[in-house]
Amino acid sequence: MPCDLILVLDAPSVRPLVPVLKRLAGTVRWAKVGLELFTAEGPDSVREVAGLGFEVFLDLKLHDIPNTVAKAVESASRLPIRMLTVHASGGSEMLRAAVEAQRRTAPGLLLLGVTVLTSLGPGDLGELGVAGPPEGQVLRLARLAAGAGLRGLVCSPLELTQLRSQLPADFQIVTPGIRLPDGERHDQKRVMTPGEAARAGASYIVVGRPILGAGDPVAAAQAVLADMERGI
């Protein structure tokens, strides 16, 4: 199964990243704009990244009442984006409203349901009143999202094998929590290497600091892609 790399732009501004993004544009196809960057610079950040030649994954993890999320999906779909996230824990009514808005305004946009954040372990879920391991909650939310009409999910790589056995073959799965074998975990608890995630069935893997924080970002990106290729 093909697997692609998404570069995380965890920064308060696009401008300092422009030189390295120009260098990476021939190596990395996708870039993720998340809450930090979008909150700081808004829709212009998406337009600027897209203008540099990247396919944009807008990771806002929308989670609100159904009508508000639907309106937010409509607004986001007017931007040059290819993927957008909503929280699967918002419930089936919210997810259906998001899917209806996406199909109406941007049929080509891939709407992704976020399951359990990779920073959460069993103890964290227990604090929220969720019993059992993260894998069980991920599967429950994955089924909820698929039943509401979503065609993709975000989950830790540790849940890939389980989800691939439960979901349609064409379901798109995006996995953060990716670290090189000798890299630091930072705030991620449930992680895999790029090759392991690709072999387990990831459609996209999300990598940020191991590339942008490297002395040679292009070489770091090439190392991630090479590890993915070995895994496949």
Q: Which is nearest to 39 in space by CA: 16, 57, 14, 6? A: 14
Has residue 184 got a pLDDT over 60? no
Residue 150 has pLDDT above 60, yes or no: yes
pLDDT at 188 over 50: no
List pLDDT tens digits, range 27-67: 999 999 999 999 999 999 999 999 999 999 999 999 999 99
pTM above 0.75, yes or no: yes
Structure confidence by residue, pLDDT tens digits, 73-124: 999 999 999 999 999 999 999 999 999 999 999 999 999 999 988 787 778 8
User: 18-27 pLDDT, tens per residue?
Assistant: 999 999 999 9
Residues belonging to the active site: 61
Question: Hey, what CATH class is 4-231 in?
Answer: alpha beta
pLDDT digits (tens, 9 = 90+) for 119-145: 877 788 888 878 778 888 899 999 999
**HEC profile for the chain?**
CCCEEEEECCCCCCHHHHHHHHHHCCCCCEEEECHHHHHHHCHHHHHHHHHCCCEEEEEEEECCCHHHHHHHHHHHCCCCCCEEEEEHHHCHHHHHHHHHHHHHHCCCCEEEEECCCCCCCHHHHHHCCCCCCHHHHHHHHHHHHHHCCCCEEECCHHHHHHHHHHCCCCCEEEECCECCCCCCCCCCCCCECHHHHHHHCCCEEEECHHHHCCCCHHHHHHHHHHHHHHHC
